[in-house]
Amino acid sequence: MHDSYWIRTMPPWTDRPSGEGSLPYDVCVVGGGAMGASTAYWLTQLGRRPLVLERNDTPGQGASGRNGGFMVQGANPVHAEAVELYGHDEARSLYRMTQVNQELAEAVVQRENIHGAYTRATKVDLAFDEREEAYLRESVTPLRHEGVDAFWVPRSEVAEFLGTGVGSHISGGLVRRDQATLHSTRFVLGIADAARRHGATFVCKSPVIEIVPRNQGWRVVTETQVYDVPQVVVAVNAWAPELLPDLEPFLTLIRGHLLLTEATDLRLSPWSINDTATYGRQVPSGQLLVGGMRSAVSDADIGQKPRAGESGLDTRPAIVDALRRVLPDILPTTEGLGVDYAWAGVMDFTPDRLPLAGPYPGREGLWLMVGFSGHGMPYSLALPRALAEACVEPERSTLPTVLNPTRFLG
């Protein structure tokens, strides 16, 4: 099992003495990935004292440190499909939240001096077949009405925006200029460190064993400590059913694979093919990161779970081989480019591919932020901010109703 590129190149994280046993905490955040770190950050901005409990050695080593490093706009499906699935108003609201997310990312990385974590980028969504082309073309008009710099280009013009030509089976692509890429662990650790500077306490190597109601609050139990707090935010994504078994029917665990090539002189924009869940981008070293191709196996890599104490998964040769083959098939100029290594992580998909974000029904003071369906970074600042505000003033919550956990747990 290999660590990801992001974990191999992550900045140092130094545990600081916190004296956590003697402090009263307003909120306990379970999970120190992108969502947990960001929730802690926003809670400190609202004058609260959060405690973050993270099972790994540092924040950002779970799903947040094993992804593709994209901060794109929109919900998980392409926009036209999102309109079909969720309705025009909800799809528009979700798209706007991800736009706000980018605005917040730019502001926070500048304000908190988080270097090398965030980069603006043009992204090209490639059409693999007629169905996908139709969705991408249909997305252009509503996106432009929202002020998004989006347009369709035929295959002959894709190279102008992608940086290289595409295979003959690609008919064209939806181009959006105002997207972004991340160095995932630099981003998460930067947010976490900023949260610490503003008053949050992070306790790593501290897996939570149990969360139980107590008086008018909650008791959070780890292997070595017990914390009594008024509120708890569960932000552990695929690991949530271990603490809250009622979530298991609504969170499907899926293994995701990525590989890293040798460095290339090509200079490519990020790209994706929605129907095959395949995507790629260039990392600062000049290497290409390519992920997806779950369709290469009959079980679509469903139901995979890391071993106890681990955050990654072993790779499957069939999917790694499929990723090797698909890259020159999509981008012919990468033919012969060697592969450095591959890694795998775990995602949790909800039935509608939207996260569960909001109060746990019937359990006052317990909040959920899980089920991101491989699409967490686009929400990673805006949604935690809304949830942090709801923790402080529930009656003024701006959490999107379409994400309310009551749609499954009500």
- Name the percent of the chain lying above pLDDT 70: 98
Predicted local confidence at residue 22, as pLDDT: 52
- Name the percent of the chain lying above pLDDT 90: 88
Residue 403 above 90 pLDDT? yes
List domains and CATH numbers for the chain: 25-66+185-250+352-409 (3.50.50.60), 120-178+252-349 (3.30.9.10)
Pairing, β 217-222 against β 208-214: antiparallel
Residue 40 above 70 pLDDT? yes
pTM of the predicted model as reported, rounded to 2 decimal places: 0.96
* Average pLDDT for 65-90: 92
CB 229 within 8 A of CB 222: no
Residue in this structure with the two tokens 């293994």, named with its chain if needed:
255
Residue 345 above 60 pLDDT? yes
Predicted local confidence at residue 18, as pLDDT: 54
Predicted local confidence at residue 215, as pLDDT: 85
* Average pLDDT for 388-402: 95
- 78 confidence band (pLDDT: 50, 70, 90): confident
* Average pLDDT for 168-182: 95
Predicted local confidence at residue 95, as pLDDT: 94
Surface-to-core class of residue 249, CB atoms within 10 Å of its CB (0-12 exposed, 13-18 middle, 19+ buried): exposed
Q: Which residues have a Cβ under 8 Å from the Cβ of 109 and sit 6 or more positions away?
A: 117, 118, 187, 190
Predicted local confidence at residue 21, as pLDDT: 52
Residue 346 above 60 pLDDT? yes
Predicted local confidence at residue 383, as pLDDT: 98
* 396 vs 324: CA distance, rounded Å: 49
